Copies of this chain bind each other. A is one copy, B any other.
Amino acid sequence: MKCKRCRRADAAVDLPSHHAAFCPDCFFVFFRRQVTEGIRKLRLLAPEDRVLVCVSGGKDSLVLWDVLIEEGYETEGLYIDLGIDGYSDRSKEKVLAYAASRGKTPIVVELAKEEIPIPETARCVRMQECAVCGTVKRYFFNRVAAEGKFTVVATGHNLDDETARLLGNLLHWQRDHLARQHPLLPEADGGLVRKVKPLWRVSEVETAAYGFLKGIDYVTEECPMSEDATSLVYKEALSRIEDRMPGTRIVFYQGFLDPSNPMRKRPETATPAGGGPTPEDAPGADAVHGTEVAAEGGEGTARACVECGAATFTETCSFCRLKERVRKARSLRAATVSR
């Protein structure tokens, strides 16, 4: 089959949802156009933005970084070393190698050095790893962005991620989560940086094809902590529907984003006094990826955490409370051992 765009080279990527097939070069053009259209339509980024790209070592975040660099955005990479045996080392290696190939050095946060590696922290506080990871990552996204004067944080969530989350939220009619789910979360008082998902229009298969054809080396293994994540069940269910009815995912997600969709509005009983969008740091924002994020308490305007100054809806932010719970669990264990 010939490429549908140049009609000369052999097609290398078949895209039934777009009724198209492209050669590598034309696919790069197509893919970048999908991303830039996604950015333009929802006004995710402005040319003058300083973008902090959160890179995990997986295909999505490295492909995102690659496209943003190619499109001329001012970017830096942020790698959070979760302290997961083996997996974290392999991921970091991929991030450093990719960054070096673009003449970059990523910002690295090591959770082990911060004394909150994910596996041990989850055990200490008896929470699911994905929930702990969400709290910790959001904290560092905001902190590193503030310290480095970044205007926006970008993550590599693709169409498959977003629709799996949407399906999970709809199956349980999580009105609050639905109202907050969007590729753009505007910046908010108290140091909550704007967060964007520029890959929202491209599928996992498309992202993987872009990474592969571009020769980007990424970790292919799933995070070992998320193996049982419910989001994978939703993703698989949607994949089967998409296989039979190509294009369903994008119709589903674009229909959801339509401002006239009533699921975009927060339920009336829970509308904060000020109205308007609520940052994802509010309670339960990431319920589908793993389980409930530790509740931050009330709603309304964020204020500064009495411990660390980070934006929070309670006196002490969820990150500081997490650290405190880990500290207590550790001293309890030390006391038990020494007895």
Please encode chain A, from 258 to 270, with 1 for each CB lying within 8 Å of some chain B CB and 0 for all others. 1011110101000
Tell me which residues from 206 to 252 in chain A have a Cβ below 8 Å from any Cβ of chain B: 230, 233-234, 236-238, 240-241, 244-245, 248, 251-252
Asked whether A240 lies within 8 Å of B240 as measured between CB atoms, the reply is yes
With contact pairs A240-B240, A263-B263 given, residues A173 and B234 touching in the complex (Cβ less than 8 Å): no
Report the separation of the CA atoms of residues A172 and B245 in the bound assembly, to the nearest whole angstrom: 12
A248 to B234, CA, bound (A): 12
Task: Check A171 against B233 for contact (C-beta < 8 Å).
Answer: no
Question: Could you tell me if B233 and A241 are in contact, using CB atoms closer than 8 angstroms?
Answer: yes
Partner of A172, one of B172, B240, B255: B255
Number of chain copies forming the complex: 2
A69 at the interface (CB under 8 A from B): no
Known: A252-B172, A261-B173, A263-B263. A241 touches B245 (CB 8 A): no
Min distance, Cβ A338 to any Cβ of chain B, angstroms: 43
Interchain CA distance A236-B239 in the complex, whole Å? 12
Closest B residue to A233 by CB, please name it. Answer: B244
* CB of A15 within 8 Å of the partner chain: no
Q: What residue of chain B has the Cβ atom nearest to residue A238's Cβ?
A: B237
Decide yes or no: A251 and B172 within 8 Å by CB, A237-B237, A241-B237 being known contacts: yes
Q: With A236-B240, A237-B240, A251-B172 in contact, do A230 and B256 touch (Cβ < 8 Å)?
A: no
Q: Who on chain B is nearest to A258 by CB? A: B173
Bound together, the chains give a CA A172 to CA B31 distance in angstroms of 24
Question: Would you call A170 an interface residue if the criterion is a C-beta within 8 Å of the partner chain's C-beta atoms?
Answer: yes
Q: In the complex, A13→B232 CA distance in Å?
A: 29
Within 169-192 of A, Cβ neighbours of B (below 8 Å) are at 170-173
Give the CA-CA distance A256 to B263 in the complex, in Å: 12
Asked whether A245 lies within 8 Å of B233 as measured between CB atoms, the reply is yes
By a CB distance below 8 angstroms, the chain B residues around A256 are: 173
Query: How many Å from the CB of A181 to the closest CB on chain B?
Result: 14
B260 lies within 8 A of A171 (CB): no
Q: Which residue of B lies closest to A252 (CB)?
A: B171
Which residues A248-290 have CB closer than 8 A to chain B?
248, 251-252, 255-256, 258, 260-263, 265, 267
A241 near B234 with CB under 8 A, answer yes
Of B230, B238, B248, B262, the contact of A262 (CB 8 Å cutoff):
B262
**Inside 8 A of A172's CB, which chain B residues have their CB?**
248, 251-252, 255
List B contacts of A260 (CB < 8 A).
Answer: 267
Nearest residue (CB) in B for A244 is B233
The contact sample of 5 A-B pairs, CB cut-off 8 A, is: A171-B251, A173-B255, A173-B256, A233-B241, A240-B240
Q: Which 8 A-B pairs give the minimum distances between C-beta atoms?
A: A173-B255, A262-B262, A237-B237, A171-B252, A233-B244, A237-B241, A237-B240, A171-B248
5 additional A-B residue pairs with CB within 8 Å, beyond A172-B251, A236-B240, A240-B240:
A172-B248, A172-B252, A173-B258, A230-B244, A237-B240
